[in-house]
Structure 1
Amino acid sequence: MGSLSTSDLFSVKGRVALVTGGSSGIGLMISRGLVANGAKVYLVALPSDPIAETIQDLNHLGRDTGGSAEGYLLLPMSIQELAEKISKMETTLDMLISNAGIRRDPPKACNVLTAPLRELQASMWSIDQKDWEDTFRVNTTAHYFLSVALLPLLAAAADQPTSDGGKGRDEGRGVIVVTSSCASMHNATNVDLTSYATSKAATDHLVKLLAAKYNRFYVRVVGINPGFVPSNMNPVGAAGNIFSSLFDKVPAKRAGTSQDIAGAVIYLVSKAGSYVDGISLCVDGGRILLANGQE
């Protein structure tokens, strides 16, 4: 019988992770959680992100656990180039945290619950078609190509022999975690998130499609659907936050924290979650229980 100790079930010490969008918001929460528990994290961000300072902070955080971080900029580097670079440094990749995302709201905002027809139409028409294309390219398509590019390293991690005669997959190695949103699970808010929510709904289905594609190698694909969590897209506590009126309507009566997000991810990528595949875990404090399309 295997160990039931939490130190064994939830250990990520010594594991290798790649986290996209890992220098801010949810991605940084995940990166911090992994490094604090002894993982080696390759953090991927955009040139506009303060990646050098973030890497320094992460390495300071991991000094007592053996955790570490290195940073790379995805632009102008392509996904293929990134995969080739990681392949030169690692023979296996225990986890891909495909987290990067964007949100593009219509420039002409309105209260979609009360706006007259013409005002609603003008608001919806104001969003550029390119905003939709960019949203799907980052929020959905990029997850697909990252998973394909890094599949050999992930499969090698899943197949790697363990000290007890098993395989890496038995310990949860070789897993892709895709960040979606609870916005994919309800119909509307008091603002127009149509392009964002649609891309996230597509991402939820992509999780299942990829899990089915990779089943023969048991490269697991799972998703997380965060609710109200502090990020650039949802500046909790900031003046004028469009969601501020909804926080007290979440059953948990609060926004999500780094512990909520990191804890969920560590479960999914560790031995504790090694039998979980092709599902999306909603981490929203119960938000979608009450998000019935009215606000």
Structure 2
Amino acid sequence: MTDNDFHSPTTALITGGTSGMGLETARLLLRAGGRVAITGRDTARLAAARADLGGGDRVLGIAADAADSEALDTAIAEVAERFGRLDLLFANAGVAAFQPADEVTGAEFDRIVGINFKGVYFTIQKALPLLADGSAIIVNASWTLHRGMAGATLYSATKAAVHSLARTLAAELAPRRIRVNSVSPGYIATPMFHDNVADDAHNDIRSAIPAARFGTAEDVAAAVVFLASPAASYINGQDLVIDGGLVGASSGVRV
């Protein structure tokens, strides 16, 4: 995809935009001439991301926790004041959680659901008044909604929930021509991946991926930008799996 494939100016809000997939999506949109607001919980990381992106007054950094309803209100108000509208919402903020089902506590359940599902739900709800007719919403889901993975019951359930939300909103927002899709990344080499996957497990995981490599944040960012572009105008209510073939193909021994 070239910069000209994405029609700017586009104004986007990206939650969890201080690193990884969110940050790279912001970079692509800025390169195409768009305006981007990114959110993050850590003010130091937010400042570093803004400096990394450049973009001058086309970049707005907002300190906000996606699970905090009042913080979301403040974030949307800041976007409205600076940019006036949104053409794209990338609900990207989320956390990983991997533990056996019998070890999940009530507090952990509330924390993960609060960020990964409730946070996405209310981010979209609060952004709707700013979203222009004909705009796009993209939700970050996960390959685990398509294939069971031991130790990921809670995480996978939240990702299945946000894809279901995207599919349902695609129908609900059709009168406004707002398209709603999700992306399901596989193993993507981001800081969150390295925080949750031990180095000694990398070779085994890589061997299960037909592409024989981990994905990059740029792989996902390019897919998000495509789904938000006019080139994807007839794609709605879908989930795009970006996993190097992990779900849909086998890298086993040929016979």
TM-score range, shorter chain: 0.7 to 0.9
Q: TM-score of the superposition, structure 1-length normalised?
A: 0.76
Aligned to 1:257: 216
Aligned to 2:97: 104
Q: Secondary structure at the match of 1:234?
A: helix
In the TM superposition, 1:214-293 aligns within 5 A as: 214-235=173-194, 240=199, 242=201, 244-290=203-249
| Structure 1 range deviating more: 264-273 or 238-247 | 238-247
Q: CA deviation at 1:281?
A: 0.7
Q: CA deviation at 1:68?
A: 3.4
In the TM superposition, 1:22-33 aligns within 5 A as: 22-33=17-28
Say whether 1:175 aligns with 2:165.
no
Show CA shifts across 1:86-135 (max 9, x none).
222233201001000112223xxxxxxxxxxxxxxxx5322222212211
Aligned to 1:39: 34
CA RMSD of aligned residues (A): 2.4
CA distance 1:179–1:238, shift in 2 (3 Å) = closer
CA distance 1:24–1:90, shift in 2 (3 Å) = same
Q: CA deviation at 1:82?
A: 1.7
CA distance 1:213–1:26, shift in 2 (3 Å) = same
Q: Which runs of 5+ in 1 are unaligned?
A: 107-122, 159-168
Q: Larger C-alpha radius of gyration, 1 or 2?
A: 1
Are 1:236 and 1:255, in contact at CA under 8 Å, matched by a contact in 2? no
Are 1:29 and 1:262, in contact at CA under 8 Å, matched by a contact in 2? yes
CA distance 1:81–1:255, shift in 2 (3 Å) = same
Percent identical pairs in the alignment equals 28
Match for residue 212 of structure 1 among 167, 171, 175: 171
Distance in structure 1 (CA, Å) of the matches to 2:196 and 2:159 = 24
Show CA shifts across 1:197-224 (max 9, x none).
1111111111111111211111111110
Aligned to 1:163: none
Aligned to 2:73: 80
Q: Which runs of 5+ in 2 are unaligned?
A: 251-255
Distance in structure 2 (CA, Å) of the matches to 1:21 and 1:186 = 25
- Would you say how many aligned residue pairs link Structure 1 and Structure 2? 247
CA distance 1:241–1:179, shift in 2 (3 Å) = farther
1:90 is matched by which residue type in structure 2? F
Aligned to 2:105: 128
CA distance 1:87–1:144, shift in 2 (3 Å) = same
Distance in structure 2 (CA, Å) of the matches to 1:7 and 1:226 = 22
Q: TM-score of the superposition, structure 2-length normalised?
A: 0.88
Q: CA deviation at 1:265?
A: 1.0
